[in-house]
């Protein structure tokens, strides 16, 4: 399944280096040596390369997840994307325009109108009601009271907090507070939605509910999303594509199935070895073109997990027509390709 949607955000060879003289390492011609060698040299010379040569593109309407252990540079990278942190080198293109060339004024406008942000610690204003918090970004935009309150009420209803408009943040649970954070970030109707570990402070059960809620919202809103997490299960659950970071560097980018089936190195393989293959891999991931053959009678949606297919395989179905692959015509999924994954999973289990 190829993605033909237009690129909303492109990040090209972005570096963020902390230290006394980061500029020294990046002249106007750009760095010339190998990124790994440069990162090593920076470390040797008392600099911290928090983001190392990050390159990726995010398509309009895509959920792009950045995953990595704590300290791997995720927050620094996502802040570079909105220039809350100034990159040391590289290019960031938003709708094709270089953000690093935007003036301070243009940036403020972009952040106010085109970007929404949600953080781990909610970041609500304690002295404002829920309504006041959600309406706040619109107040900053200079919208009239009536308009901003109407919009805020709409967003509060969207996240399921109708009736709590007059409450204060401390009167809500963590999960509810983050719903307010989400409503607030959506109030301006952002084109780019950044979420930096939004559910990491919540209990596992609530986290799970919030993930479902987030996916529900995204099905309606179709935002372009950069979602940061250190939780692998969360990453694999939410991502259309994901990037895995290690010590500032993106070590692999791919769809969840690509990453579990073809990990780029031992690090990624180890990192992802507990991800259940049958759940992560979808029918569409294994589908091949029908190539003139007639479609099997039994059909399945491209986004159905292999796990969901097991009962039907057990009852003797030999092949499925895969629908909604994005390619128009249905594709073919054979029982043997599903069984091959099942066998691979079995081997992983007996090894560990």
Ligand X SMILES: Nc1ncnc2c1ncn2[C@@H]1O[C@H](COP(=O)(O)OP(=O)(O)O)[C@@H](O)[C@H]1O
Beta strands across the sheet bearing 299-301: 288-289, 331-334, 319-323, 299-301
Among all chains, which residue has been given the structure tokens 């952002």?
190
Span near ligand X by CB under 6 A; candidates 73-81, 174-182, 275-283, 296-304: 73-81
Nearest to 89 by CA among 25, 8, 21, 9: 25
Among all chains, which residue has been given the structure tokens 């099997």?
296
User: By CB under 6 A, is residue 70 in contact with ligand X?
Assistant: yes
Which DSSP category does 73 fall into?
S
Q: From the CB of 137, what's the least distance to Mg ion, in Å?
A: 22
Q: What is the x/- site pattern for ligand X, positions 15-54, by CB under 6 A? A: ---x-----------------------------x-x----
Q: What is the x/- site pattern for Mg ion, positions 59-98, by CB under 5 A? A: ----------------x-----------------------
Q: Are strands 241-246 and 63-68 parallel, antiparallel or unpaired?
A: parallel
Measured from the CB atom, the residue of 75 and 88 that comes closer to Mg ion is 75
How far is residue 33's CA from residue 131's CA, in Å, rounded to a whole number? 52
Size of the site for ligand X (CB under 6 A): 11
User: By CB under 6 A, is residue 71 in contact with ligand X?
Assistant: yes
Buried b (16+ CB within 10 A) or exposed e, 55-81: ebbbbbbbbbbbbbeeebbbbbbbbbb
50 binds, among Mg ion, ligand X, none (CB under 5 to 8 A by kind): ligand X
Measured from the CB atom, the residue of 50 and 63 that comes closer to ligand X is 50
76, 88, 177, 185: residue in contact with ligand X (rule CB under 6 A): 76
53, 62, 67, 75: residue in contact with ligand X (rule CB under 6 A): 75
**By CB under 6 A, what part of segment 49-68 binds ligand X?**
50, 68
How far is residue 234's CA from residue 147's CA, in Å, rounded to a whole number? 36
Residues that bind Mg ion (CB under 5 A): 75
């Amino acid at each position: 399944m190829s993605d033909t949607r237009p690129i909303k955000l492109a990040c090209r060879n972005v570096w963020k280096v902390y230290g006394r003289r980061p500029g020294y390492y990046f002249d106007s011609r750009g760095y010339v040596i190998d990124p790994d060698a440069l990162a090593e040299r920076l470390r040797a010379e008392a600099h911290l390369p928090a983001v190392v040569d990050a390159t990726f593109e995010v398509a309009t309407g895509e959920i792009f997840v950045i995953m990595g252990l704590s300290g791997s540079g995720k927050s620094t990278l996502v802040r570079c994307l909105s220039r809350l942190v100034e990159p040391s080198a590289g290019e960031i293109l938003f709708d094709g325009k270089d953000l690093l060339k935007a003036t301070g004024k243009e940036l403020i406008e972009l952040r106010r109108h085109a970007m929404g942000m949600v953080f781990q610690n909610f970041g609500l204003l304690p002295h404002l009601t829920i309504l006041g918090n959600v309406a706040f970004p619109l107040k900053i935009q200079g919208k009239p009271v009536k308009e901003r309150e109407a919009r805020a009420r709409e967003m509060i209803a969207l996240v399921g907090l109708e009736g709590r408009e007059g409450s204060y943040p401390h009167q809500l649970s963590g999960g509810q507070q983050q719903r307010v954070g989400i409503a607030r970030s959506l109030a301006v109707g952002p084109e780019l939605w950044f979420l930096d570990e939004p559910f990491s402070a919540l209990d596992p059960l609530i986290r799970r509910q919030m993930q479902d809620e987030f996916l529900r919202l995204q099905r309606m809103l179709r935002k372009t999303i950069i979602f940061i997490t250190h939780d692998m299960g969360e990453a694999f659950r939410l991502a259309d594509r994901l990037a895995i970071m290690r010590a500032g560097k993106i070590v692999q980018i791919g769809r969840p199935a690509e990453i579990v089936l073809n990990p780029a190195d031992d690090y990624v393989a180890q990192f992802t070895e507990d991800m259940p293959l049958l759940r992560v891999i979808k029918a569409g991931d294994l589908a091949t073109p029908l190539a003139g053959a007639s479609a099997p009678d039994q059909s399945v949606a491209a986004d159905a997990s292999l796990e969901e297919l097991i009962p039907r395989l057990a009852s003797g179905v030999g092949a499925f027509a895969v629908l909604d692959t994005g390619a128009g015509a249905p594709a073919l999924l054979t029982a043997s390709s599903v069984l091959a994954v099942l066998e691979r999973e079995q081997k992983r289990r007996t090894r560990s």
